[in-house]
Structure 1
């Protein structure tokens, strides 16, 4: 189990910890733009987490206000990649502001990288060969013998493409031609993951999580595997306070969005809209817990009094799990049970679907269980078909599991 201290350190925009001391740091973008305050030692707030978070939020707001004012003067499109990305990030009508927090965070990281490394390049002066060289440089392994960082390079390219799309919308010169050039470049794609944990693997990590005092994590693993549900749709996500979605769970300058016990009805059916489709099809998915053996095993250990508020809560903090802690806990319980280190927590969903296929569950039922769109039915028919499909898949998998034991 991870140390309590690691989990309970205050978190806030710009806040970092150096040898146990809190320090606020300006972003690389702000520093590069000339912001005069690079960092602030906040040791005086060490034992006052609420004041520490408030101080960081104020420092962050001051920095953003300065950068915004600065951008108001210099972020006029001048043909450079830097100005294009800054316009994309600054314009209130840019689709950048509609990105989910989980997407915006990595985009911001790679936007800064792109600006620092190729921001001075004029769009009219670069072509596909230049971009291929950039891609190869960004994809270089961290160290000799390590795999290529293809996801990193592809995300950087995605940032450029998104900024170009907005540039085209704003009729910025050169953007349409450069976007067309990028469409002709074949960028390498990362190899598809083939690792799929088995029911036995999942049982082992659940047992280890319970032994570590994290029964809530064991329930999360069961729902991910038996219900074939994505990690974020089980544990939720922590987002900035600026996120427009409402939340009653607030902590350290952040708010939590995720599944609640109220979404599990009196028949033990869990209904939710997957995070990947909430802004597209909006289709609801349902999982009948009563036909999912692993889930029912974990639910038997949870009293009715405990079934309120967020569905999955870290017993150490009383709040939903932070993603880094949830991942550390996964590695701890996985390694304790000698489950393959190649298996990631998010592979549990794939493992559940793989088991369903091995159990001869129909492809249509598996698609419904996974929440994939079905354009041939109305929303009402889809809802009934999905819950029945989920039940048939769960029953087939349980029977298949019994045959193997």
Structure 2
């Protein structure tokens, strides 16, 4: 490059079968001190005169940021420098972003994990350099099996692309350069989605699980599963969850490692011989269930002594408190295996099993929707997995119609 367009830090990376690729590289001594990014691929052509000023501007900007960092002025985490990494960091730190405005703490934790994968895989890429082929390449790489012979991880790949869409949509709202172009590219791509679950935890599984759990001394697991199936309730609405305690707020209630147990059923809120009402965690909708009509709940509750019916309904017997982390799923699986329930059937499939059974029994879809506290009947229909209730009714009507015609 000429002195007219200086390019500090510019390196050439040889590419087989094509022209060299321009890369900006940080000083080795600063990299050792922890400076990032170490290298940045530049979306320009080395030997094209029209690209010379753009290449120079990119190198000068990156060099200036590195020198600013070396002088002790660390980069503002909310500053957008044109890379995917900086967009991700700003998305997570901007108090006005959807990450901080709308997402629940549990969703933020899951999203933070996906964002870490994104930053690690292609955080150094500059937004202006992104092309259609990049996203398909990243999708294909993300869906590769974890090991030879295992299935493709389509759900993982689709989740990463979904989060990229959200990142660039935020970038557009925050008026960050280049994000609108990439958002428009992503809007036109239809990445294959993971197949919907078709598995249900059915009555036969429930009736195998409950006695085995009681036999193994895991009454809480039996009771939770019974309520999920009989009352069509979400696991979180039964078992509860642990949410971070806001800074400065008193450590009241059941507290563990700076988190408070919330949203689960308590004995004070349960009416075994009548109607139990609860606000759902997902939408806040009120649900009401007559537990006197829930035979499995009654079966398990009979094993809990009256004097033990205090506090949270579902308690980890080994810890003496509500289940934390992935303990509920882990302990549930132990009992499920002992009961002969295959590993591909999960506790969360109890809700789908209950809805499928209800439709098979001839229950109206809108009534099932209200029971499950769904706001949209389409959601209820997705939970009905292989029900034959409606098709049986249609078949019976057709047969009756034929009989009338034949007798005429």
- Taking structure 2 as the reference length, the TM-score comes to 0.70
Equivalents in 1 of 2:353, 2:333: separation in Å?
17
Q: After TM superposition, give the deviation of residue 180 of structure 1 in Å.
A: 1.7
How far does the alpha carbon of each residue in 1:152-211 deviate from its partner, in whole angstroms, 9 at most, with x for none? 122222322222222122111221221121111111111111111221211211111111
Equivalents in 1 of 2:106, 2:92: separation in Å?
16
The residue that corresponds to 1:189 in the other structure is: 193
The residue that corresponds to 1:373 in the other structure is: 375
The residue that corresponds to 2:279 in the other structure is: 273
Q: After TM superposition, give the deviation of residue 85 of structure 1 in Å.
A: 0.6
Q: Say if 1:102 and 1:347 are closer, same or farther in 2 by CA, change over 3 A.
A: same
The residue that corresponds to 1:163 in the other structure is: 167
- Structure 2 gap ranges (5+): 1-30, 36-71, 378-388, 390-408
Q: Say if 1:237 and 1:33 are closer, same or farther in 2 by CA, change over 3 A.
A: farther
Q: Say if 1:87 and 1:291 are closer, same or farther in 2 by CA, change over 3 A.
A: same
Aligned length: 309
Q: After TM superposition, give the deviation of residue 105 of structure 1 in Å.
A: 1.4
The residue that corresponds to 1:252 in the other structure is: 257
Q: Say if 1:83 and 1:372 are closer, same or farther in 2 by CA, change over 3 A.
A: same
1:202 to 165, 183, 206: 206
Equivalents in 1 of 2:368, 2:263: separation in Å?
24
1:85 aligns with 2:102: no
Q: After TM superposition, give the deviation of residue 75 of structure 1 in Å.
A: 4.2
1:344 to 336, 343, 346: 346
Q: Is the 8 A contact 2:78 2:90 kept in 1?
A: yes
- Structure 1 gap ranges (5+): 1-30, 36-68, 376-395, 397-405
The residue that corresponds to 1:150 in the other structure is: 154
1:292 aligns with 2:298: no
Q: Say if 1:74 and 1:194 are closer, same or farther in 2 by CA, change over 3 A.
A: closer
How does 1:6-405 map onto structure 2 within 5 Å?
34=34, 73=76, 75-98=78-101, 99-242=103-246, 248-259=253-264, 260-265=266-271, 268-277=274-283, 282-373=284-375
Equivalents in 1 of 2:133, 2:201: separation in Å?
41
How far does the alpha carbon of each residue in 1:105-124 deviate from its partner, in whole angstroms, 9 at most, with x for none? 12111111111111111112
SS at match of 1:73: coil
- Taking structure 1 as the reference length, the TM-score comes to 0.71
> Larger Rg: 1 or 2?
2
Q: Say if 1:139 and 1:247 are closer, same or farther in 2 by CA, change over 3 A.
A: farther
More displaced 10-residue stretch of structure 1: 323-332 or 351-360: 323-332
SS at match of 1:272: strand
Q: After TM superposition, give the deviation of residue 83 of structure 1 in Å.
A: 0.8
Equivalents in 1 of 2:166, 2:262: separation in Å?
26
Instruction: Report the RMSD for the aligned CA atoms in angstroms.
Output: 2.7
SS at match of 1:78: coil
Q: After TM superposition, give the deviation of residue 345 of structure 1 in Å.
A: 0.8
